[in-house]
Chain A
């Protein structure tokens, strides 16, 4: 989430487009990684 805030501020500041897109790609990969973790992790359930 901190990365997303940094990207939003960099877009506002008008930093180099390549940096913004690279950081955005890092963000999307991180979200996909988190999604994969939460989908495949063991749930603490008992029946």
Chain B
């Protein structure tokens, strides 16, 4: 049964049918901030990978997977809102996907923090603002968890409301979505070069396996 029909059968008015207002605007762009923030985080990881020459370990890549899985939840809500098909149930589904995604990513971050928790351990890679990247990743996962919690508390207020087709805001929304998709595509290419023909990443990567395998090194 469709979400709307379920709600109607229970005598529940779907607040999405009366969406809009300041809360709808804030939550719609809050989701874009989520998508854009994780795109920037992953682009920064690329900077460290390609400019500073630090190769991502398997746990680093798993944290990127967690970020992408979580952001797909936000993207799911944005796209439903843009099509005018967003109901309270679908909004909750998207937030649920986001929450489970960040929970998966945070589990990996905690594991990596624990690996380097002994006093004197230099950690993996260069720190940024006194914290290692996996610690920062955990901070971002915690922020998203809090964000999702606040959004759930705000329900049924705050059902995201998309701007009209053809407006500048709509174009900005499209640009942010494509930045994220582009970053995911770049990660696909990066992981192919890192893994080569192996099924998983080596524990401590020091080169691009695909290039090594193709050149016979």
Which A residues are closer than 8 A to B by beta carbons? 1-2, 4-5, 7-9, 11-12, 14, 17, 20-21, 24, 27-28, 31-32, 34-35, 37-39, 41, 43-44
Contact = CB atoms under 8 A, between A and B. Distances in A.
Contacts, number: 77
Contacts of A14: 79, 83
B31 interface: no
Contact of B100 (A8, A28, A38, A43): A28
B37 interface: no
Nearest to A7: B72
Interface in B134-189: 177, 180-181, 184-185, 187-188
Interface of B: 58-59, 62, 65-66, 68-69, 72-73, 75-76, 79, 83, 90, 93, 97, 100-101, 104, 107-108, 111, 177, 180-181, 184-185, 187-188, 191, 200, 203
A35 B104 CA distance: 9
A11 B100 CA distance: 17
Given A1-B187, A31-B69, A38-B58, A9 B100 contact: no
A21 B185 CA distance: 20
Nearest to B93: A21
A interface: dominant SS? helix
Contacts of B58: 34, 38
Given A5-B188, A8-B72, A8-B181, A38 B90 contact: no
Given A4-B184, A9-B181, A35-B107, 18 more contacts: A1-B191, A2-B188, A4-B68, A4-B72, A5-B187, A8-B72, A8-B75, A8-B184, A12-B79, A12-B181, A28-B69, A31-B62, A31-B65, A32-B104, A34-B58, A35-B62, A35-B104, A39-B111
Most central of B68, B177, B187 by chain A CB within 10 Å:
B68
Given A14-B83, A34-B58, A34-B200, A4 B181 contact: no
Nearest to B78: A11
A38 B63 CA distance: 13
B69 A1 contact: no
Contact of A28 (B104, B180, B184, B188): B104
A11 B75 contact: yes
B93 to A, nearest CB: 7
